[in-house]
Chains A and B, each alone.
Chain A
Amino acid sequence: MYRYDSYDQKIVDERVAQFRDQTRRYLAGELTDDEFRPLRLQNGLYIQRHAPMLRVAVPYGLLSSTQVRTLAHIARTHDKGYAHITTRQNVQFNWPELKVVPEILAELAKVEMHAIQTSGACIRNITSDPFAGVAGDEYIDPRPWCEVLRQWSTFHPEFAFLPRKFKIAVNGATQDRAVIQCHDIGLELKRDAAGEIGFRVLVGGGMGRTPIIGSEITDFVPWQHIITYCEAILRVYNRYGRRDNLYKARIKILVKALGIAEFKRQVEEEWAFGKDGANTLTEAEVARVAAHFTTPAYAQLPAEDAAYAAQRAANPAFAAWARRNVLAHKVPGYAIVVLSLKDPSRAPGDITDAQLDQVADWADAYSFGEVRATHEQNLVLADVRQSDLFAVWEKARAAGLATPTFGLLTDIICCPGGDFCALANAKSIPIANAIQARFEDLDYLYDIGDIELNISGCMNSCGHHHVGHIGILGVDKNGSEWYQVSLGGSQGNDTSIGKVIGRSFAAAEMPDVITNIIDVYRAQRLEGERFIETVRRIGLDPFKIGVYGDAAIIERKQHA
C-alpha cells in the first residue's frame, strides 16, 4: 500500500499543528461556532448527540496492521472501546472529547493517517473497490489512481468551500464494487482501442434527498488528463452550483438543471484552458505511486488446497462461512476473507478495540499486514492462503467476527442513525438488530440467498437505502419515528433507485414487514432467481399486497 514520503508526512504534521491552533482559538473564544464549524468538519469532527464524532480517513479503504492497532488504541484510550466502519470506508469514533482531538490527530499522523476532508463542503475521501488488486475481474488496479487523486484533492485551495460535499469513487473491474453511479464523480478505468489507460467519467450521481444515477460526461479521458478534467468539472460546479438552498446544492442538481449536454459543453470549454497544464500527470509520477501497489510475495500454491477441501467437508459451520465469507482470489491457492461486522448483538459496522488488535494480528500472520474496509461496513483480509483459512476462521469465530452472512439479508448496511447522529430523523441500529434477530436461522437466510438490505436514519442516505434491494428510511412524523420501505434498488453495474412501496411503519412492525416481503419473494421466485431479479420481473404490486393486503392495491387502482 502507499507509504508516506517526507512530503506526505509534513502535510499531515502541519495539519495537526494547524488544527491544534484552531481548536485552541475556538476554546479561547477567538473563533465563533460558525467560524469553527467548517474547520472542524473538514477535519472530520461533528458535534453529535453525545459528544463530538471524529471521522478518520481511510483512503480507498486500505489499512496497514500498524494503522489498525492505532485505531484500537484510540478506541481504547479516547473512546468507549469501539470504532465504527462507515459506508464510505472510513472509521468513526463516537465519543472523543473536543480538546483531545488534536492529540488523536497527532497519534494518527504517526501512522500516516489523518481526518482531512472527511466532512465539509469539499472533496471527500476517494473510495474504491475493496477487492482492488486481488479480484479476478479487475482489469486495471484503481489504487494508484485513487492515491494520485487523493494527493491532488488534499487542501485543494480552489475547492475548499464548494456549494456542498463532493464525493469521487474509482472502479477498475468488470463488476462495479465502488457504487460509481451514485457519486458526484464516478470514474471507471478502461483502455481505449490502442490499449492506453483512461477513464470513463460519470457525473452528478448521488443519493441523499434526490437520488440520481450519474450521467456519462465522457466515455474516455486519457489518464494524463484525469486531474485537469476533474478540475474543470469542479470549477464549473464551484462557480455555478446552487448556494441558496442546501438541498439543491449538490452537483447532481446543477447537472440536471443544465442537462448533461450543456454541462459537458461548459466543462469541456473550461477544460480547453486547463488541459495540458501543469497538473497534467506524468508517467514518472504515476509509476512512483504505482510502485507502492506492487503484487505481494505470493507463494506458488495449488489452485485447490486439499486440506481446505477436507476441512470444509468435515465441518459444516466452517463450510458455511467459507461459502459466504470467502471469495475467489486471482492468485491460485489464495482467498479473500470478509470479516463480518454484522454480529446481531452489535451495531452494524462496529468493532471493539480488542477485535481491532486481533484483526491486526491476523493481517500480519496471514495477509501481508493489510486490511481493507468496505462500504458495506465489513473488514477484509485480501490475501489469505487457502491453507490458512481454517485457522483464520477459528480465530475470527472466537472473536465474533465470523458471522457467516456476507451478502445475505442480515449483512445490513446501516448508518449510526438517531442513537448517535444529530441529523437523523429516526434510529436505525435497533431496526437492523431487530431484523437480524428475526432472521437468525442460517438455513433460512441461505435459502433467501443474495439480497441487500440498507437502512438510513434520514434523507442524507448514509445507509445507502436508495440502492438497497430492500431500503429502509427513517422518517419523522409529528415527532415520532417511522420507517419507509422501498424495493428494487441496486448497486453495482445495474444500479437502480428503489421505489417506495407505500405508507410507513412503526419500528415494532418492521420485522413483520420484512418477513412479508421475503414471503412474497419465496412464493414467487423462479428457480435460481435472486430477490432483486424477482422484484424486477414481477414489479412491486405483489409485494404491496403481501405487506398491506389487497386493499392498498384496490385503492391505488381507483385513484389511478
Chain B
Amino acid sequence: MKLIRHKDKAWMGIWLAVMAGVGVWDVLFLNKPALKQVVAGFLNTFVISLLVVIITLACGWLVTICLYYLEARRNKTGYLLLTFLLNLIRSIPQIVGILFGYILVAYLTGKGTLQSPTLVFPLMAAIVSLFIFIELVDLMRERIEYYKRLDFYSAMLVCGIPESRIINFDILWKNSRLHIFNKLISVFGISVFLQCSVDFIISVGLSTGVSSVNLPLTLGSLLAKIDSKQDILAIGHTLTHPSYFPNLFFGHLQGVTVAFLIVFTLMCIYHISNGYAERHRL
C-alpha cells in the first residue's frame, strides 16, 4: 500500500523490474554482438547522464553562491558580467548548443587530440551540463530569495550566524535539498533525452569530417545504426500486418530494445520526478 502511495518509489521499482525483464529477454533472444552493443550504449548513456547530474550540481551551486555574494557586496560589474554570460548561454537552444559541442568533441577525437575515454566522457557531460545547469541556478536563487524574505534569515543573521552557513547549510542544504534533488532527477531525464537526440542527429550523418564512430556508443547512436532503423521500420510494418507483431520480439530485438529503453526510461523518470514532488509536497 505504501509503495502505491509513494508513486516515485513505485515507478522506480517498475523501471528496475522492467529493465531486468528486458535484460533477461535480450540475453535469451538477442545475438551476442548486438547484446554487447546495447549494454554498452545503455551504460554509456547512463554514466554520462550521472556525470551531467554531478557537474550540474557543482556548477549550479558555485554559480548561485557567486551571484549571491556579488549581489550582496554590490559588485555590479561582476554581477552584470556573470548574469550576461548566463543569459547568453540561456539564449542558445539546449539541443543546438549540445550539438555543436558534440561536433567539436567528435572532431577532436577524430583528429586524435582527444583519445582517452576518461576525458571524453566528462567532456561530453560538461557540454550537456553547460546548457542545463542554469535551470538549477534559477531554482536555488529562488529558494534563497524566498527565505531571505522571511524572518528566518534575519533572525539567524542577528544571532551572528555567518551568512555563508545560513545560505549553504540552512537554506540550500536543510530547506532546499529535496527541491534540488527533484530538479536533478529531471536533469538526468533531460540529459538522457538530449544525448539520444544529439547522438542520433550526429550518427545519421552531419558531414564526412564528423562521425559518430569518434564518440562513445550511446542509445541515440545505436538507434541510428542501420540494423536498428530496419527494426524500427518493422514496428511500422506491424500496423498494416498485425500478425507480424510477435516477430518484433525475436527478429528485431536490437532496435525495439533501444527504442523501448529510451522511451520507457524517459517516461519513468517523468513519473519518478512527479511522484517525488508529490510525496514531499514540493
Q: Do A and B come from one complex?
A: no
A residues with CB within 8 A of B = none
